[in-house]
Chain A
Amino acid sequence: MLSADPSSLGGRAKPNYGAMFSSALLKPEQAVPDCVAGPHGRTASRRYSVYRNNVTFSLIEALASIYPAVQRITGVEFFRAMARFHVRANPPRSPLLFEYGRDFPDFIEQYEYAQPLPWLADVARIERAWLDCYHAADAEPLSATALASVPAERLAKLVFVPHPAVRIVRSGFSSVSIFAANRNAGPIAPVHAVDPEDALIIRPGQDVVVRHLPAGGAAFLTRLIEGAALAVAVSAALEATPSFDLSANIAGMIEAGVFATIQDGDPQ
């Protein structure tokens, strides 16, 4: 059927003002669109640049507010240059800015000038997880009493439903210590840690908390969060870390509010 919509006329249709106006916003080398002018038809180069600057500057600011520790580690100038590359190549796909920058840690990992800071991408992953944790849905955490009421013979097949705010970031570097030393304003505490650190990001009350997981903890919790039964998760943790301390890890996960509810793993 023929359509009267000019946008369906393919190449012959004049592009709409959205396409024309936005074409050069993130491309400083491109000419100012013909559709705009200053008063009395005057040239609008600096005028159009206001929009270009607003777009790029505000999106760099958005990344800086999501990744403050990364900015403190690199320094402001380094960060802004890195962020500008990222903003121009990967502008937001959602109007919700707190969703922006999910691919920034991977970008940092590949960014040539960041190669001397191999832990930087993992610190960024912790910061991205921090914001996801901050905005995640509210839920009551699983109580120790609820877990204690499960009969012993059912524990092995028990399945845990994660709290919506929980995130785990595994790292081959001391990323939790580096994150903690750089996340807040004030003097930067020296970081002495050298061992790999896995992060648990959780919101037990109002505030987001980032913890360094004990050995085997990430393997254990990751399996549980994926929906594996308790016995399966314990095996995975013991395989990763023969010295894995089950009772300490269970106590820790309850205290931190990692899970919201439990399900009996036996399908009825």
Chain B
Amino acid sequence: MNAIIKFADPQASRLLRFPAHPIAGLAGTSFKHEHFSAILAERPAGGFFEVHAENYMGAGGPSHRALESIRRDYPVSLHGVCMSIGGPQPIDVAHLARFAALVERYEPALVSEHLAWSTHETTYFNDLLPLPYTEATLARVADHIDEVQEAIRRPILLENPSTYVLFRDSTMKETDFIRELARRSGCGLLLDINNVFVSATNHGFSAHDYLSDFPLDRVGEIHLAGHAEQADDENEPLLIDSHDGPVADAVWSLFDIVAGRCGPIPTLVEWDSNIPDWPVLKGEAMAAQAILNRYAQTFAFGSTHAVR
């Protein structure tokens, strides 16, 4: 099993507000308020829900009531979108305090953020923007992760990005950069397999090679999502990480390979725009669960390394 579950449980010593629903081996979906009544009516067994932290940073109101209800019945993954961990400027301490308060309030099973940035000076761009991979950015981003982990008193999972450009200044491979970040900061990793496929297509490398290089032993969660296709200046395919459709076949194949190597890691199907009816999204999660279950049996018999 993976390293991430060896981290000390920060909640072990105190009283919990919510049940400690285990998340190991489960497939889940993004939690969208438009699905809330369908979820309440169906009360699906198993699974987990992931929420974007920023949507719950209001003081009160119906969004908190909905998340409290979901959290009582299911494991929840708290996914931060705009901490700008990958940015050159210091972490916004007010934002970090809000994030820490949510971790405290909802006791999520998983906490994650992105290797990206979205704020420059005071302007928030609402997109996950890329960074150059250099010794200097490595040191700064590792410091940012330390700061976040100290504030929330537990490790985060850091997500690999999808990118459309490369930086001329980069001196390291993304996989080396991420491995070293995890080693220095002690963070776990969120492996977004759609992002791997999107970036591999966009930059002309092999997704299989990327996954072979990736420190899979630190992966605590997997993301799957749909993407869209455009063309670049040379009319080569340019994939967009759009989260607006079903998971692509090629991404399912890569997921199967990763699940075979890592065992049943919590796996999320993201769908953030053109959101379908609940049964469609749930169907995607059930497809992921079937793959996880297949490998759960293999791993239950202790053959973790035999399948590598």
Contact = CB atoms under 8 A, between A and B. Distances in A.
A25 to B, nearest CB: 6
Contact of A55 (B95, B126, B130, B164): B126
B296 interface: no
B59 interface: yes
B60 A164 contact: yes
A67 B294 CA distance: 47
A39 B123 contact: no
A93 B94 CA distance: 13
B124 interface: yes
B174 interface: no
A207 B62 contact: yes
Given A91-B125, A95-B54, A95-B92, A136 B233 contact: no
Residue in B60, B84, B92, B165 whose Cβ sees the most chain A Cβ within 10 Å: B165
Residue in A38, A43, A165 whose Cβ sees the most chain B Cβ within 10 Å: A38
Given A17-B169, A39-B203, A91-B124, A135 B238 contact: no
A47 B168 CA distance: 14
B206 interface: no
Given A46-B238, A96-B54, A207-B62, A59 B126 contact: yes
Contact of B132 (A17, A34, A41, A139): A17
Given A16-B88, A37-B166, A138 B60 contact: yes
Given A17-B132, A17-B169, A38-B166, A135 B63 contact: yes
Contacts of A135: 58-61, 63
A36 interface: yes
Nearest to A92: B124
Contacts of A47: 164-165, 202, 232-233, 238
Contacts of B240: 50
Interface string B93-128: 001000000000000000000000111101111110
Contacts of A207: 62
B61 A165 contact: yes
B172 interface: no
A134 B61 contact: yes
Given A134-B62, A136-B58, A206-B65, 17 more contacts: A17-B131, A18-B89, A18-B117, A18-B120, A35-B132, A36-B168, A37-B165, A37-B166, A38-B203, A47-B164, A48-B165, A55-B126, A91-B124, A135-B60, A135-B61, A135-B63, A137-B60
Interface of B: 54-55, 57-65, 82, 84, 87-89, 92, 95, 117-120, 122-127, 129-132, 137, 164-169, 202-204, 230-234, 238, 240
